[in-house]
Amino acid sequence: MRPMITTSELAEQLSGPESARSVVLDVRWRLAGPPGADSYREAHLPGAVYVDLDTALAGEPGEGGRHPLPEPETLQRHLRAAGVRAGHPVVVYDDSDGSVAARAWWLLRWAGHAEVAVLDGGFAAWAEEERPLTDEIPSPAEGDIVVEPGGMPVLDAADAATLARDGLLFDARARPRYAGETEPIDPRAGHIPGAVNAPFSGHVGEDGRWRDASELAERFEGLGVAPETPVGVYCGSGVTASSVVLALEVAGHPEPAALYAGSWSHWSRDPERPLATGDLPG
């Protein structure tokens, strides 16, 4: 299954036989502002089930960071409640820049479920095209997905430090946070020494849709990615970094990038871990 699906492709699928329709997950979430669940109750794609980032797609915040990986049993329970079935396609969407949808995409892939795609343009693109919306809350049949971690590579802090020197480690945060000019959330400002800044905002155009494969490939080539390059990614808490993993796959990179799930929220907790500041990797 391709990692991205267009609004027209999904609309055609949802108008077909029920057995052929993807399970659709609404994963809207905001760091500040109205909760995604409130927006879901107001309007969502027909048949879409809401899945919360904080309770389903991440573990409890703490020593592992602000959005550590969820326990497999917890993720499995939420996915089954949403109707996710083994071998059956899933489509995920959000209403911002695609990064939360990318986190859901990544988690499903990590869990061993390959049949998952992100809706290009998300809720905004669907609504702008005046496609069907509803406030009806579905009651899906219980799914049977078995979460088997290991489908996508992950990094711990030591792995990230090594990859920053021996491969290519991307920091997906905005430049001011990477440079250490500001840090509104985490304990210390700066970046992992050797990491290259690759802001996740560069993956989407002004219209909110993802850039095409050739544009993304050109972007990553300019950042030093070659076919044989081992790549890892981190961000503030492991959410927006997932969009870099997705963008690299769309761009045609042959191997999935590894995710440092704890990201800067984990790295910066330990005062013994080094940091760099400024625009250069350090």
Neighbours of 134 (CB within 10 A): 12
Please report the sign of the dihedral spanned by the C-alpha atoms of residue 109, residue 240, residue 266, residue 66.
negative
Q: Residue 168: phi, psi to the nearest 5?
A: -140, 115
Local structure of 150: helix, strand or coil: coil
The identity of residue 80, as a single letter, is: R
Q: How far apart are CA 117 and CA 22, in angstroms?
A: 10
Catalytic residues: 235
Q: Where are the beta strands (DSSP E) in the chain?
A: 4-5, 23-26, 49-50, 90-93, 116-119, 154-155, 168-171, 196-197, 231-234, 258-260
Token readout for 227 is 């076919």
Give the strands of the sheet with 231-234, arranged side by side: 154-155, 258-260, 231-234, 168-171, 196-197
**Residue 223 burial (C-beta neighbours within 10 Å; 0-12, 13-18, 19+):** middle
Q: How far apart are CA 280 and CA 70, in angstroms?
A: 33
| Beta pairing partners, 221 | none
Q: How far apart are CA 243 and CA 117, in angstroms?
A: 12
Token readout for 124 is 């905004």
Q: How far apart are CA 139 and CA 148, in angstroms?
A: 25
Are residues 240 and 198 in contact, defined by beta-carbon separation less than 8 angstroms? no
